[in-house]
Every structure is written in C-alpha cells, then in structure tokens.
Amino acid sequence: MTFQNTREFAQQLDSQDELKHYRDEFIFPQHNGKNVVYFTGNSLGLQPKRTKKYVEDVMNDWGNLAVEGHFYAEKPWWDYHERFADPLSQIVGAKPSEITVMNTLTVNLHLLMVSFYNPTAKRYKIICEEKAFPSDQYMFQSQVNFHGYTTEEAIVEIKRREGEHNIRLEDILTKINEVGDELALVLIGGVNYYTGQVFDMKAITEAAHKVGAIVGFDLAHAAGNIELKLHEWNVDFAAWCSYKYMNSGPGNASGCFVHEKHHHADLPRFAGWWGHNKERRFKMEPQFEPVHGADGWQVSNLPILSLAPYLASAEMFAEVGMPKLIQKRNQLTAYLEFILHEIDSELEGAEFEIITPSNQEERACQLSVFLHGQGRSLFDYLMKNGVITDWREPNVIRLAPAPFYCSYEDMYDFGQTLKRGIIALK
C-alpha cells in the first residue's frame, strides 16, 4: 500500500480498520481534552473499561460470601487461575495444560530455573542476549552464583556486531554450537525490550536442543504482541508479564508455559500447596504430589483481585485473536515508520534513526528511534504535548502503537507533533 502523510489518509485507514471499535473499550489519559497518543503499551497497557466489572465482582463476592467465595463465588477462587488456560494457550500457542498464571515475571523465571537450570561440572553455561533487561541480568547472575559459579564462568552473552543495532540469528546459532556440551540453558527475550527485535525462537530452540541444552524464553515483550507457537516449537519453558501488551494493570501477575514433555518428569521444584494434587489439596497431606501440567508449578493461593483484570484482558485477546491484532500491528507500524521517514526527509534528514529491524519478520509492534542531537529535550517536548513515549539511555525513544487501541490518526498526529518539536528545538 502507498501511504500518505495526511490526516484524511489516516482517517481513511481508521475507517477501514476492523478493530477500530476496540479503541472505545479503553480508558485514555487526556491532554487538552483529547486522548493522548499512547506509545507505551509495551510498558503499561491502557485500562480496558470492562476490567472494572471483573474486579467489582470479586469485591462483591468477598463482601457477600467471605470465605465461602473460595467455592461458591460465581467464578470460584480456588480454581480461578484455571480460567486462563484456554485464552492464554491461544495467545502463546500452547496446550491449555501447559499454561499457568501466578506470581510476577522475575519470580517465575527464578522458580522455573529451579527446575530447568541444574548445572553439572560439565554442563553449566547459560546463553543470554547482550544487554538483556536488567532484571533478567540480575536473575542470571544470582542464579549462577547460587550454584557456585561466577558470572564470567557461566554466563555467555550474544553480542551485537560492531556498528550494528541488532543481534544476528547466525551469531546466536554459532554461539550455541560453540558452547556445545557445556551449554545448560538458553534463556533470552523473545522480543528485545530495547530494540524491539524479534528472535527466531523456533531456530534457536532447535539449535539448543541439538547440543543437549534446555531452552526458555522471557516473553515480556512478546505475549500479546507476536505470533507464538511455544508447543510446536518445542520450547521447554517460558514466562511473561501481563501488564505490557496484555493490559492487565500495573505490576500484575505473570503467565508461565511448561512444555507437556516435562509434566511427568521428576524435576526439582520449589513447591507449595497450590501446586498439589487438586482433588487432595485440602486434605492437608504431608507428601507433595504435583498437579500434572504447568499448574504443578503453582506455589501459593492466588491473588484473585489482581487476576480479575488479567482475566478480563486475556478474554479480550481471545475474543479478537492474535491474527487480527498482528495484521493491524503490521500496518500500523509500517505507517508509523513511513511517517517517521517523511518527517525526516521534510526536515532534510539525520534527525533520528530507527534502530528496530526494518524487515517485518524481525520486528513487531515497537519502533525504537535513536535521536540525534536534541534527544532528551525532544522527548520532554513530546510528553508535554500529549505524546506518551518512553526514554531509554543514551538517546532512544520507544514507540509502540498497540493495535488494540492506537489509531492511524494517532500516527499522523504524532508525526506533526514530532516535526513541531524538532523545529522548535533547533
């Protein structure tokens, strides 16, 4: 499609957008009486209007039924988490039994590493991406230290080549083969949080399995953003947070995937009563017997008040389905990219550079833009003028037009604000 950088053209795309009604299902912060242009759905998704009722239902059940709500609420609390298996399995490409929801992301990755990172004298190394999200880096460091290794001994980072912004798949695969039978675990982000680069999880999983390693993915920026086929790709485990693309609310619960092939295995795990045989959970027996399936990794009884908004949003995703979201995502991101290039050429270039891969196979919702010159003050200008984006050192703004609620007209408005900002700051 040939794009045009005009309001009429953007409005025309909006009028043809099959998902346009969903925009009204979200609450937008206001700027001068208008919705802001919201680019930080990759950090904290907007609140769906239908969320409130899910939370109120729990509040009412708690008020009316108190302890009996565990069994007699309309959505009983004791197995509330099982309601996620269907919608989330569709979103991440899993079998329902491979899904569970609990805790928060970093906590879950630690718990999963208890099961899936068991170094031996020969096989003890972890491959991760260079400049992984800091929480992941701290997790790796503390895990290898806990097992008696230093970071230098046990952590192998895949680096970008000199002068390049993204990591090449061939470099990941080469490194996997190089580390070979010393490799215990590959654990990287499915989508890099900084550049928005999407990794080929299928190829990585195959290569790592070939050398006998386990493979996990941190899907913080992937869940609800890209097509995932975790089961088919044979990924061993994965976890994601729900407050980014999945719009579940600040700091909310994390989803986990454990491949079926591990459900019957006798893996080490840190157990708790919510992972115990469901039929016998309240018999308070001394011997732990895990539920078969990802639910066997549960630890505590669940925070129902925080699961309620996540359930609202998970059901919304299942209602629309990833294919439609991905289709809009691709066009919206392409339009944003077009507008950035238009503004750049109108201003005679070199104001900024998109560091996200331009190839649609290797990116998803996010475009990361490296600002030359007036970086921080341009960011401040955007924020003061109704464009919500975020700032990452040294000079990057990340733009994530979430297809659920961002419009093509938002992209046009953003372009105009950006242009005014660059001119004003010259």
* Nearest-angstrom CA–CA distance, 41 and 58: 26
Instruction: Check binding of 258 to ligand PLP (CB under 6 A).
Output: no
Instruction: Check binding of 119 to ligand PLP (CB under 6 A).
Output: no
Among the listed residues 61, 98, 218, 295, the single contact to ligand PLP using CB under 6 A: 218
Quote the least distance from Cβ 30 to ligand PLP, whole Å.
26
* Nearest-angstrom CA–CA distance, 244 and 5: 29
Quote the least distance from Cβ 354 to ligand PLP, whole Å.
20
Between 85-92 and 304-320, two packed helices, what is the crossing angle to 10 degrees?
Answer: 50
Q: Which lies closer to ligand PLP via its Cβ, residue 246 or residue 340?
A: 246
Instruction: Check binding of 41 to ligand PLP (CB under 6 A).
Output: no
Q: Which lies closer to ligand PLP via its Cβ, residue 85 or residue 105?
A: 105
Quote the least distance from Cβ 135 to ligand PLP, whole Å.
4
Query: Considering CB under 6 A, how many residues would be counted as binding ligand PLP?
Result: 12
Strand, helix or coil for residue 47: strand
Is the backbone of residue 411 left (phi > 0), alpha (psi -120 to 50) or beta? alpha
Residue bearing tokens 């949080």: 193
Nearest-CA neighbor of 124 among 152, 166, 99, 96? 152
Greatest Cα pair distance, the chain, in angstroms, is: 73
Instruction: Check binding of 141 to ligand PLP (CB under 6 A).
Output: no
> Do residues 244 and 104 touch, judged by C-beta distance below 8 A?
no
Instruction: Check binding of 241 to ligand PLP (CB under 6 A).
Output: yes
Which residues lie below 8 Å from residue 163, measured CB to CB, with a gap of 6+?
A: none
Instruction: Check binding of 220 to ligand PLP (CB under 6 A).
Output: yes
Residue bearing tokens 């979200």: 26
Quote the least distance from Cβ 190 to ligand PLP, whole Å.
9
Q: Which amino acid is at 371?
A: L
Q: What is the DSSP letter of 41?
A: T
Nearest-CA neighbor of 325 among 90, 105, 127, 149? 90
* Nearest-angstrom CA–CA distance, 397 and 378: 10
Instruction: Check binding of 135 to ligand PLP (CB under 6 A).
Output: yes
Strand, helix or coil for residue 179: helix
Quote the least distance from Cβ 381 to ligand PLP, whole Å.
26
Q: Mask of contacts with ligand PLP, 165-204, x by CB under 6 A? A: ------------------------x---x-----------
Q: Which lies closer to ligand PLP via its Cβ, residue 175 or residue 221?
A: 221
Q: Which lies closer to ligand PLP via its Cβ, residue 221 or residue 328?
A: 221
Instruction: Check binding of 117 to ligand PLP (CB under 6 A).
Output: no
Quote the least distance from Cβ 220 to ligand PLP, whole Å.
3
Instruction: Check binding of 234 to ligand PLP (CB under 6 A).
Output: no
Q: Mask of contacts with ligand PLP, 92-111, x by CB under 6 A? A: ------------xxx-----
> Do residues 213 and 117 touch, judged by C-beta distance below 8 A?
no
Among the listed residues 38, 39, 133, 237, the single contact to ligand PLP using CB under 6 A: 133
Quote the least distance from Cβ 179 to ligand PLP, whole Å.
22
> Do residues 156 and 98 touch, judged by C-beta distance below 8 A?
no
Calculate the dihedral angle through the C-alpha atoms of 117, 120, 126, 127, rounding to the nearest 10 degrees.
Answer: -120
Q: Which lies closer to ligand PLP via its Cβ, residue 108 or residue 298?
A: 108
* Nearest-angstrom CA–CA distance, 302 and 223: 21
Among the listed residues 221, 276, 328, 329, the single contact to ligand PLP using CB under 6 A: 221
| Site for ligand PLP, rule CB under 6 A | 104-106, 133, 135-136, 189, 193, 218, 220-221, 241
